[in-house]
Structure 1
Amino acid sequence: MPFYLFQGRYTADAIKALVDTPQDREAGARPLIEAVGGKLHHLFFCFGDDDVVALIEAPDDAAMAACALAVGASGAFSGGKTTKLMTASEAMEAMKGAKSAAASYTPATG
């Protein structure tokens, strides 16, 4: 299954709710991801532009999009993004494909 990195920013109301009533958001996220056939590997709270990041394995892009849409529709996040990840082995296959395809490419010239 493909891997995805989800990065999200909570709304002020969601942060207030977490401060007022501390809760395990990993336990909250896991059932959603499992409902689309995926697996939550890690969920981290973090400093910086994002409040939370998660490493997720999902059956395909449609399943991961379903998760992201459900989270977005919840109103708990003010923004976020999902990045599809490749293993080193998958990246090497892409590199091999690029090597063979490179001869077919004509770059722009001045």
Structure 2
Amino acid sequence: MPHYMLQWRFSADNFRSLVQNPDSRAETVSKAIESFEGRLHQYFFAFGDYDGVIICEFPDQERCVAFLAMVAAKGGFTSFQTTPLLTPEEGLHAFERAGRTQTPYRPALS
């Protein structure tokens, strides 16, 4: 199944709620992902541009987008970033394919 790194920023209201009622959110997020036939691998809070990161997988892009749309529609976040991921094996196959493929492409160097 395709893997994804999902990053988000909490809204001020969501932070306020988490401070008043601390919750790791991992179990809630895992169940939500599973309702779209996905699987949560890792859940992290983060410093920097995003407040959290998860590594998960979904059977296809459509279910990943459906999960994100459902989460966004509920509120609590100011932004998301989604990064499709490749396993090391998938990356290896991609590099092997790149080496086998004959193409007339060349960079537009001077």
Query: What is the percentage of aligned positions where both structures have the same residue?
Result: 37
Alignment of structure 1 residues 1-110 onto 2, 5 Å: 1-101=1-101, 103-110=103-110
SS of the equivalent of 2:56 reads strand
CA distance in 1, matches of 2:97, 2:6: 27
Amino acid paired to 1:29: V
C-alpha contact 1:10 1:51 (8 A) present in aligned 2: yes
Q: When the two structures are superposed, what TM-score results if normalisation uses the length of structure 1?
A: 0.92
Structure 2 residues without counterparts, runs of 5 or longer: none
Q: In angstroms, what is the RMSD of aligned CA positions?
A: 1.4
CA distance in 2, matches of 1:62, 1:23: 29
CA distance in 2, matches of 1:39, 1:91: 21
| Structure 1 runs, 4 residues or longer, greater than 6 Å off | none
Higher helix proportion: 1
CA distance in 2, matches of 1:94, 1:15: 41
Q: When the two structures are superposed, what TM-score results if normalisation uses the length of structure 2?
A: 0.92
Structure 1 residues without counterparts, runs of 5 or longer: none
Aligned length: 110
